[in-house]
Amino acid sequence: MTKLDQDFTMWQGETISLRVPVTDSAGDPVTLTGATITWKVTAGAAVLTKSGSVISINAADDGVQIDMDPADTKALTPKKYAHECRVVDAGGDHNVIFVGDLVLRLSSTKPS
């Protein structure tokens, strides 16, 4: 089941870990073992894509953890973006597991 309104705010050049539990319609954790996970931030077109080793499965709740480094956002224009996370499970089924808005704030102290 897709989690809607997974909105968050961050500042340019921050190091953050975005964590979202993945549950079914009954609220039970969904096993993501063997899944391929892709997360995109868009403004019409993708401006940031994460997959592979920077996305992990949080063993505590079978949730998704997306790690972001300063380089990921320091050059992006501060504004509201859309974001979406898709999982392709071990059986090949595609599911969008969460969507929302990312509000990127201007940082006067961002890394150069």
pLDDT in tens, 17-72: 988 888 888 888 888 888 899 999 999 999 999 998 778 877 666 789 999 999 99
Is residue 26 included in any domain, yes or no? yes
Evaluate whether 33 touches 22 at the Cβ level (below 8 Å).
no
Q: Cα separation of 13 and 109, whole Å?
A: 8
95: in domain: yes
CATH code: domain of residue 33: 2.60.40.1930
Distance CA 71, CA 29 (A): 32
In a domain, 111, yes or no: no
Strands (E), 6-105: 8-11, 16-20, 36-43, 45-51, 55-58, 63-68, 80-88, 94-105
Q: How far apart are CA 29 and CA 47, in angstroms?
A: 30
List, in sequence order, the alpha helices (H) in the chain: 70-73
What pLDDT is stored for residue 59 in this prediction? 64
Residue appearing with tokens 């501060």? 78
Q: What pLDDT was estimated at residue 71?
A: 95
Is 95 within 8 Å of 87 (Cβ atoms)? yes
Residue numbers of the domain that contains 51: 8-105
Number of domains observed in the structure of the chain: 1
Q: Is residue 2 part of a domain?
A: no
Residue 108: pLDDT band with limits 50, 70, 90: very high
Question: Could you tell me if residue 71 is inside a domain?
Answer: yes
Task: Please state the pTM of the whole predicted model.
Answer: 0.89
Tell me the mean pLDDT in the region 84-100. Answer: 92
Residue 44 within a domain: yes
